[in-house]
Structure 1
Amino acid sequence: MAASTTTVRRIKLGSQGLEVSVQGLGCMGMSAFYGPPKSDTDMIALIHHAVGSGVTFLDTSDIYGPHTNETLLGKALKGGVRQKVELATKFGISFADGKREVRGDPAYVRAACEASLKRLDIDCIDLYYQHRIDTRVPIEVTIGELKKLVEEGKIKYIGLSEASASTIRRAHAVHPITAVQLEWSLWSRDVEAEIVPTELGIGIVAYSPLGRGFFSVGSKLVENISKDDFRQYLPRFRPENLAHNTKLFDRVNEIAQRKGCTTSQLALAWVHHQGDDICPIPGTTKIENFNQNIGALSVKLTPEEMAELESIASADNVKGGRYDGSMSTWENSDTPPLSSWKPA
């Protein structure tokens, strides 16, 4: 389905004033983690195509590359494009001296923001997320520094990613949180128990709504990914789990064929049907896949179809965790109490 045939409506993300396209564009795979970096020329053309199609909510992070994805976005925003988009980036994952570390201390927050502004070549970030939660630093301390950056005009809105419900509430008490980014798809539904119902007027941005590409092509994804694609290390793509999870894909695919849409469109439509303040940000590096993703906005699901999909994709029907054990701090994390904080 061509992008031009579908109107991309706009929604209010959270209650602080941010308005975005109802579907965003995740830019990570253009530069990192899903195989080798793609051509800047091709990716800029894709970004411009997205913006021209009405998808104006662009998502990046300083760790994508690291740093190269923000530089790419900076190039793509030249020539008046910046005024047309809502730009989100993130801080919090450091790869200093080859060691991965999650940081939320005030000095790091400020330095990361300044560096992102420079790479993006902009004066202000629309939505600035803490990408992962530093479990050593009280969330009040991190948000306190972000609040200063808002007051200084360097960021407009604050977001959190992979924070627990209690962390979100504590953060929101310091400064309103506009959006929470979390992994939400037909095979990642753990957030529905506690985090999604956190009713504070906070919008939800769903990353990996296509199950990191699984709901596009099923097990063929694993057959075709390159040796430097980090998905090969994720539990759900390992051989002992993949055969089981492929059965889930096959059943979703049957429903998609019945509906006259693709499996990826159906999976995306399911996320869209979760509510009016939810914005999925599927990533892609191909214009034809982008156009197909936009087609999900035209797929309407009945309550019966939603129930059927959810019975197929219940939590106990998926084998393997979202991350392996080495990334234990990357999922719905808590922080210590403010009383424990001793500034350096």
Structure 2
Amino acid sequence: MPIPINEPRRVKALHRYQILDTVPEKEFDRLTELASLICQVPISLVSLVDDHRQWFKSRVGLEVQETSRDIAFCRYAILNSDLFEVEDATRDTRFKENPLVTSDPHIRFYAGYPLTDPDGYAIGTLCVLDQIPRQLTENQKQSLRLLGDAALELIVKHRQNQELKYLGNLFALSNDLICVAGTDGYFKKLNPAFHDVLGWDESYLLRTSFFELVHPDDLQDTLDEIAELASGKSTINFAHRFRCQNGTYRNLQWVATPEPDTGYLFAIARDITDEKEKERLLFQSENKFRSFFESSQGLMCIHDLEGKLLTVNSAGAHALGYEPAELVGLRLSDI
């Protein structure tokens, strides 16, 4: 069986489109019907060639949903960059013993245009078949090419819609605050995390300028950052305090990027309030320890595992007749 040289990557590319075994769609059915009418043949297919089968996303004039790849005419068509045509299968050594030729549906004529995706992988074909020998006219060949390109565009669009669906799920389920906003200070779209973190109803946030909810001490910095985005700066990372429905403030760390044509800002924020509180408590603890360390009248020191002094308090150093800096680097055994 002929195999494309990039077969593993080709099959992987086909699976990425997530279109195999999907329900019929009228957009594809219109293309196969047009192909059948233009080429004046009874059978037309959008065929996707997997590693072991060809599956028909759309079909006219054929009842089966798929066939084994071993007997598929399309396995040859995907080896080509342009139209592949078999005028009379009974006179072609590659196909004359094929069960699709020797028995129902008794194929004689085949023409298939490879559906080559933007990465160069031929994932299937738009093909037309007949039960009598024939040859397509140049106009019919060009029409089949155009319809094939349209079929591929539908497949790419199908994948894009799938990605949008997954992004929609991420938007709804994310614990981070995700939004579309304007440089005018108003949100355009919000995910549910805004309500979960801040307590505000979506309707209130959409009709209220977010500048009103920024802590007064952070407002000017926020205005400056928004101005940077409005001027075309690609990405901004900044933090501010944002008022909650209960009157408290949460610390939000933002990453935002503008859409130049609309002026909209696409942004995501992470609630770093707990991290800020931990930083504050750590700083407070360090200050308390430093104060205790320096005010102690006895010897206080910090040393490493080898006994080398890293820091010594003033009172302890003076009691030994040294300045603190003179003791740093000495070992305990040295003194």
- TM-score range (shorter-chain normalised) is under 0.3
Q: Which has the higher strand share?
A: 2
Q: TM-score, normalising length from structure 1?
A: 0.21
- Report the structure number with the largest CA radius of gyration: 2
Q: TM-score, normalising length from structure 2?
A: 0.22
